[in-house]
Amino acid sequence: MDLQLTGKRAIVTGGSKGIGLAVAKALIAEGAAVAIAAREVTALQAAAASIGAIAIEVDTADEESVDRMVATAVERLGGVDILVNSAAEAATPGSTGFMDQSDEEFRRQFEVKVLGYVRCARAVAPHLIEQGWGRIVNVSGLAARQTGSTIGSIRNIAVAAMTKNIADEIGHLGVNVTAVHPGLTRTERTVGMTATLAADWGVDVAEVERRLAAKVSIGRIVSAEEVASVVAFLASPLSVAINGDSIPVGGGALGSIHY
């Protein structure tokens, strides 16, 4: 299927690794020109060089930095059609219950993932509205629909609510806004994570993988590339019938019904 992305111009935040990098690759494979943005310059430049993207340093917790990023992307790409928000702070290991999470942790998580997404959308939206077409895709997470991490649930629910509000506000102007909810996703961090869990649980890595996969209806962990395929579709003109909604991309959470 041709996603009609040839010639489109995209910004992907958090694009130096993980889901963000996989999204950037998918968009480039479909013919889009892509700028990836992140804080860590060395990793960012290496990632950009490896996939043929433009590298732009950004701290999404800083409004001026976000505005500079968008201005630079517009200048170097000749405009912008797509924003994929994927920059987020990793949760503090072992800090999942509300008793374990400090006010500072909550503020840091919201500053980057929630307010950071808002800042990026606010900076990009005028360009999309002016040209009468655009896509904003926010990478949220299945913690919005599951307990287990208080801060994970709250921040991802906030992203979903933000997505719907922006979609209702600018959808009639030609700009579709959606979110995806990845679950546990196979990225470059998975090896270290499964090794840590194996040590904590007193089992081998294969058993960790089996236990994690048992929670997914397709029987395995979804890859970053598989999440990116859904994001690429949502970023395309073909996704016009989807606006304001959050799409789960975790391979199917067992036992849940959402309607």
Q: Where are the domains of the chain?
A: 9-184+223-248, 189-220
CA 87-91-96 angle, 5° bins: 145
The CA distance from 166 to 244, in Å, is 8
Whole-prediction pTM:
0.94
* CATH tag, 9-184+223-248: 3.40.50.720
Q: At 255, is the secondary structure helix, strand, or coil?
A: coil
Answer for the pair 34, 48: CB distance below 8 angstroms, yes or no. Answer: no
Q: What is the CA radius of gyration of the chain?
A: 18
Predicted confidence pLDDT, tens digits, the chain (259 residues): 899 999 999 999 999 999 999 999 999 999 999 999 999 999 999 999 999 999 999 999 999 999 999 999 999 999 999 999 999 877 555 556 777 778 888 888 889 999 999 999 999 999 999 999 999 999 999 999 988 888 899 999 999 999 999 999 999 999 999 999 999 999 988 888 888 888 989 999 899 999 999 999 999 999 999 999 999 999 999 999 999 999 999 999 898 888 8
